[in-house]
Amino acid sequence: MGESSEHPPESERFDEFVEVAVDDNEVLRVEMDDEMKLSAVDSAIIAGFLEDICEDIDEELQDEYGKGVDDILREDTDNIKVSRYTGELSQWREVS
């Protein structure tokens, strides 16, 4: 596992990434250093961090719109195009 630093992470692009677009607007990019080997603990910490982010977003949606992620996705995504691109693919792929 890497050590924490007093300095913010450098602005660099990693080789491996996933990018998500909604109606052709890129809204999220997640990058990983594909040369770094992750332990089970590293992976579990990343999963827990992402789970916390998801819970926070769900709470914010509940507070602001009165419905959570599942309700919004079930009701409001029929005409929305969600696409995903990874560095291993040659093009965007619709996932919705």
What six digits make up the tokens of 78?
Answer: 């029929």
Other beta carbons less than 10 A from residue 48's beta carbon:
10
Q: Is residue 45 part of a domain?
A: yes
For 65, the domain range is: 16-94
Residue 45 pLDDT > 90: yes
pTM above threshold 0.85: no
Query: Considering its fold, how many domains does the chain have in total?
Result: 1
What mean pLDDT do residues 2-26 have? 70
Residue 11 pLDDT > 80: no
Q: When comparing pLDDT for 70 and 91, which is higher?
A: 70
What Å distances lie between residue 47 and 28, 40, 52, 59, 93, CA to CA?
17, 10, 9, 18, 24
Q: Is residue 2 part of a domain?
A: no
Q: Is residue 8 part of a domain?
A: no
Q: Which residues pair with 54 in a beta bridge?
A: none
Share of residues in the chain with pLDDT > 70 (%): 71
Residue 1 pLDDT > 70: no
3-7, 49-53, 56-60, 67-71: the lowest-pLDDT one: 3-7
